[in-house]
Structure 1
Amino acid sequence: MELRSSLVILALYLTLSWPCLLTFAFAPEPRITVSHRTLQGEIGYFRKAENLSTLLLDRTRDLLYVGGRDAIFALSVHNVEHEVMPKISWQASQKAMDDCQKKGKRSDDCANFVKFLQYFNDTHIYTCGTYAFKPSCMFINANTFKEEKNGNEEINSGKSKCPFDPQLSYAALIADGDFYAGTTDNFLGTSSIISRSFGSRRFLKSEYFVTWLNEPNFVSAAFIEESYESPIGDDDKIYFFFTEVAKEFTYFNKVVVSRIARVCKEDAGGKRILQNRWTTFLKAQLVCADQDGSLFSVLRGTFVLQPNGPKAWKETVFYGVFSKQWSQDGHSAVCHYDIEEINRIFDGNYKQQTDEKQKCNEQGGQLPSPRPGQCITNEQRNKKYNSSTDLPDQTLSFVRDCPLMEQDVRQPTRIPLLIKSHVNYTTIAVARVHVSNEIVDVLFLGTDVGTLHKAVVLKDKDTWIVEELELFSPPMPIQSLLLVEEKVRHSLGLQSGK
């Protein structure tokens, strides 16, 4: 995929007759295919910009903010062809563009590609862009849709918050005033980190060890409020989803695996060991496999489902779309994972990584105390460990050397919710609805050829594709999918390109 190609934002309004979903005689193939021509009256396109890569929904104002190349737009949720307010032009300076090209980068890449848009608070949006390989960030006043100065400057450094290269993978979010990112922090794009910056808490980042991150491809990040009504005084967590080259295997070819990693919100780094580094960074393999054990090892997209809101965090379900590393024909799968099972894995044993001189297994049945990688809870506070800076060197050395968990995170069902041949799913969104006193999860799955599959997950976890929509002609991949829930119909905002 080349980012320089034109992108299209569209809104598709779907009338969902939920009772009918349970009366059809389902088949593995889509029951209905709706052609691009048939959909013309129901699709709205926004074509006034290139490289539209970032979406932010404002349900209160009924706005869809769209970040693209050198600009940010405010569109109506009900009609994406309508710009509610004049666009914000955010071009890289001439000096930044000249410097970028002098360093050997293509002129097409030496622009400002907006990669991040999220509300910082009720009145301000925070945004970051590549800014001609000099990543930068700024505030936007949500009421006026104007840039707002931060001190004496409108923009500030985006290093460790945003990639230099617009073509590199990226995942970020703002949680409780802090900026968390999985990105690269150098011009060449060779140094990958998971970092926290910007807010009141200390700047932290991952170690530059291949046992922490090894050629990662970041997919997404999620903030889960696990401190809410926690009987143990637990901390909130930030989860990162990515793929990387596995270090625990010794095969001739590079083996790519999917990972879930987590850090604790109140992590303050270590005092001597792991200074300005995460003391709670742990990761586990995310497994999506068929009944024969064949792995769908490459994570393509995720969705966090919290049906009763973030406070009911124990009900959190992570959905993911996966593909196979070496498949030529296109094989995709959808798997899901429960938050409590993920926590159980992170409370388990640690994995020995084969080519490192590490001792990650319990010695004589004993682990360092407090347990390595754990958030500070009431148990630690009662022992006078009130911060990660109070933790003993032995605990910190262990988690520095052994961040990988022994057990894998697996789907609770025997097989994936859905397996589809000759299809490459790229993104997913999920809506949970109540139908005839039953709970049904409806999956919206984007593909690399611009089709959208609508699938229904029934109570027994049987999954059926009920509709296929051909959204683009000529075909182009759907890269992000935004679901806007309304009383009667659903509006999907999609960003696609090729």
Structure 2
Amino acid sequence: MIVTKDEKPKSRSHNFHLFHALMTISMTMLFLPVIRTSKQNIPRLKLTYKDLLLSNSCIPFLGSSEGLDFQTILLDEERGRLLLGAKDHIFLLSLVDLNKNFKKIYWPAAKERVELCKLAGKDANTECANFIRVLQPYNKTHVYVCGTGAFHPVCGYIDLGFYKEEVIFKLDTHNLESGRLKCPFDPQQPFASVMTDEYLYSGTASDFLGKDTAFTRSLGPTHDHHYVRTDISEHHWLNGAKFIGTFPIPDTYNPDDDKVYFFFRESSQEGSTSDKTILSRVGRVCKQYLCFEDG
């Protein structure tokens, strides 16, 4: 499948609050609270950088520089390539030799966004940059990528080419779009996303302060290209969720029954505000329209 500029979907952010009409979330609580472990815990195995080099079990990537803060990774097994998302950069490496003929895209945040980020009291080096948090396979020729954009998330498409022999690695800067509800504002905020059936499912914060956390669905086929998300209400669907991961998992042999599972932690809404219990939870999202169920 070859995607041209005319074929790429254009975002239409609407129906933000109609999530329950399109998808139903079945929240399954794991009633065991997270055990608060001591910060003094010692790892069972500790290796220094020198130890790793001497073991000959790792290959250092020499093309990076200090402070790039690598945050996301995508394996393109078909092409034998590895994509790395970092601060203001995206790298394309060969699995045969990480340091041979690697390519990179320099994608910084807009200067005006960096200045606004600084004025908001954020750190110029660790926060006010474009930290790449989303690398998801869009189709056979393109990867969908999102960055924090100095607390102004932005997304776009990277062209990888149609043939394996092609070494195309180019960001389409003419078709960038808002990354809100797809990518977090904060480069350090826990976050999860997955692409399935042309839809991007994300667990992220939808605001600058990171307080409104939500499950969202975006992209999709051209005829159904819009956002849906969990409702905003006094009875919060999520209470400061810290997302760990998300995975599409088939429930039965019928693909219409497939679900997307979100794994996260959040504070209990019960009890006093001074003693909040941290709970591990699983959220199950139906992929089909009008799929209502209790889990």
TM-score by length of 1: 0.44
Aligned counterpart, 2:121: 104
The runs of 5 or more residues in structure 2 that have no matched partner are 1-42, 162-167
**Distance across 2 between alignment mates of 1:38 and 1:107:** 32
Q: How does 1:185-264 map to 2 (within 5 A)?
A: 185-200=206-221, 201=224, 202-209=226-233, 211-226=236-251, 229-230=253-254, 234-248=256-270, 253-264=275-286
Please state how far the C-alpha of 1:248 moved relative to its aligned partner.
4.8
Q: Would the alpha carbon gap of residues 38 and 253 (structure 1) be closer, same or farther in structure 2, given more than 3 Å must change?
A: closer
Stretches of structure 1 lacking an aligned partner (at least 5 in a row): 1-28, 269-279, 281-372, 375-398, 400-404, 406-498
Once the 2 structures are TM-superposed, how far is the Cα of residue 139 of structure 1 from its aligned partner? 0.2
Cα-to-partner distance string for 1:275-320 (whole Å, 9 max, x where unaligned): xxxxx6xxxxxxxxxxxxxxxxxxxxxxxxxxxxxxxxxxxxxxxx
| Structure with the greater alpha carbon radius of gyration | 1
1:37 is matched with 51
1:90 aligns with one of 107, 116, 130: 107
Q: Does 1:167 align with 2:188?
A: yes
What is residue 74 of structure 2 aligned with on the other side? Answer: 56
Paired residues for 1:71-470 under 5 Å: 71-84=89-102, 86-108=103-125, 109-143=127-161, 144-148=168-172, 153-200=174-221, 201=224, 202-209=226-233, 211-226=236-251, 229-230=253-254, 234-248=256-270, 253-267=275-289, 373-374=292-293
C-alpha distance in 1, partners of 2:47/2:90? 32
1:37 is paired with a residue of what secondary structure? Answer: helix
Matched residue type, 1:253:
D
Q: Distance in 1 between matches of 2:183 and 2:53?
A: 36
Distance in structure 2 (CA, Å) of the matches to 1:46 and 1:165: 26
SS at match of 1:179: strand
| Cα pair distance change 1:77/1:267, threshold 3 Å | same
Distance 1:179 1:234 in 2: 17
Distance 1:37 1:185 in 2: 42
**Residue 79 (structure 1) shift:** 2.8
User: What is the CA distance between 1:148 and its match in structure 2?
Assistant: 2.4
Distance 1:57 1:186 in 2: 30
SS at match of 2:90: strand
Q: Which has the higher strand share?
A: 1
The reply to whether residue 65 of structure 1 matches residue 83 of structure 2 is yes
Is the 2:52–2:58 Cα contact (8 Å) retained in structure 1?
Answer: no
Task: Give the distance between the partners of 1:38 and 1:124, measured in 2 at CA.
Answer: 34
In structure 1, what is the Cα distance between the partners aligned to 2:58 and 2:153? Answer: 34
Shift of 1:104: 2.3
Distance in 1 between the 2:208 and 2:47 partners? Answer: 45
Q: CA deviation at 1:235?
A: 2.3
RCO higher in structure (CA 8 A, sep ≥6): 2
Instruction: From the superposition, tell whether residues 110 and 104 of structure 1 become closer, same or farther in structure 2 (CA, over 3 Å).
Output: same
Q: Note the C-alpha offset of 1:203.
A: 2.3
8 Å CA contact retained: 1:180, 1:195: yes
Cα shift at 1:251:
8.5
Q: Whole-Å Cα distance in 1 between the matches of residues 261 and 85 of structure 2?
A: 24
Residue 256 of structure 2 contacts residue 288 of structure 2 at CA under 8 Å; is this kept in 1? no
Aligned residue pair count: 237
Residues 214 and 244 in structure 1, CA contact (< 8 A), matched pair in contact too: yes
| Residue matched to 1:477 | none
Q: TM-score, normalised by structure 2?
A: 0.73
1:419-467 CA-partner distances (Å, limit 9, x unpaired): xxxxxxxxxxxxxxxxxxxxxxxxxxxxxxxxxxxxxxxxxxxxxxxxx
Contact conserved, 2:144 with 2:156, CA < 8 A, in 1?
Answer: yes
Change (3 A) 1:185 1:83: farther
Work out the CA distance in 1 between the residues paired with 2:132 and 2:101. Answer: 18
Q: % of aligned pairs identical?
A: 35
The residue type paired with residue 212 of structure 2 is S
Distance in 1, matches of 2:60 and 2:240, equals 36
